[in-house]
Structure 1
Amino acid sequence: MFAATTLSGTKPEQYRQLADQARALLHGERDRIANAANLSALVYHALPALNWVGFYFYDGKELVVGPFQGQPACVRIALGRGVCGTAAQSGKIQRVDDVNAFADHIACDAASRSELVVPLFLGDQLLGVFDLDSPEPARFDADDEAGLAALAALYLESIG
Structure 2
Amino acid sequence: MTTAREVMHRGCECLSINENLTTAARRMAEMDVGALPVCGEDGRLKGIITDRDIVVKAIAQGRNPSDCRAGELVGEGEVWYVDAGSDIESVLHQMAEHRIRRLPVLEENELVGIISQADLAAKLPDEMVGELVTAISSTSH
Q: TM-score range by the shorter chain?
A: 0.3 to 0.5
Q: Which has the higher helix share?
A: 2
- Relative contact order (alpha carbons < 8 A, sep ≥ 6): 1 or 2 greater? 2
TM-score by length of 1: 0.30
